[in-house]
Amino acid sequence: MLLSTSITDGVVTLHPFQPDDASEIYTAVRQSLVELKPWMSWAYDGYSMEEVRDFIAMTRARWEENTLFAFAITGAKTGSVVGGISLNHLHPVYHLCNVGYWVRTSRHGEGIAGRATKLAARFGFEHGGIIRAEIVIAMGNEKSIRVAEKLGAHYEGILLNRMVVGKSIFDAHMYSLIPQDFGLEARL
């Protein structure tokens, strides 16, 4: 799949992470560390520009292998990076994946994560061979729960000991999206 892929709903645009995104990603993460650290293992006080560059290189390599589809979330009109979203843990047998997202703190409450999730899930259903996208949210992450609920994801229950963030073990809420939610047919 092409690393030049770009998808938009007119409000947000997703594109595979590019080396040119590094500075904006770094700034967005650093400004959002207080909100990210409880829920994202990669977010910590020493998060560096080198880690951003390594992350971008890894996502681009895995994109070419069709094992991870990671996107920068940008404003459709401005092009500025407002977060990130990925279809990760793609399962080659069961054709499902996990959807992970984050939005910089200064842009919370604008519906960006929900819009990006719809775009990324649809991309997975149409181009990534996915028939199920799972949104696994640690107990207590109320902002992410609201995102899943607002976008109409199917609530499936609580999974015990499902997430590890740093050294903390969390039970997690399971939500899912399927192709039929987008008027698409599930196909392998």
Q: Is the pLDDT of residue 48 over 80?
A: yes
Whether 14 is covered by a domain: the verdict is yes
Backbone angles phi, psi at 170, to 5 degrees: -125, 145
Whether 146 is covered by a domain: the verdict is yes
CA distance 176 to 187: 17
Average pLDDT of the chain? 95
Whether 87 is covered by a domain: the verdict is yes
How far is residue 96 CA from its own chain's centroid? 14
Domain span including residue 176: 7-182
pLDDT bucket at 25, cuts 50 / 70 / 90: very high
pLDDT bucket at 1, cuts 50 / 70 / 90: low
Whether 100 is covered by a domain: the verdict is yes
CATH number at residue 48: 3.40.630.30
Whether 89 is covered by a domain: the verdict is yes
Compute how many other C-beta atoms are within 10 angstroms of the C-beta atom of residue 53. Answer: 14
Which residues contact residue 90 at a Cβ distance below 8 angstroms, ignoring those fewer than 6 apart? Answer: 66, 67, 68, 69, 96, 97, 128, 130
Of 57 and 65, which is predicted with more confidence? Answer: 57
Whether 188 is covered by a domain: the verdict is no
Torsion sign over Cα 139, 73, 129, 183? positive
How many folded domains does the chain comprise? 1
Whether 167 is covered by a domain: the verdict is yes
Q: Is the pLDDT of residue 133 over 60?
A: yes
Q: Is the pLDDT of residue 123 over 70?
A: yes
CA distance 58 to 30: 20
Q: Is the pLDDT of residue 183 over 80?
A: yes
pLDDT bucket at 107, cuts 50 / 70 / 90: very high
180, two tokens = 């039929």
Whether 166 is covered by a domain: the verdict is yes
Q: What is the pLDDT of residue 49?
A: 97
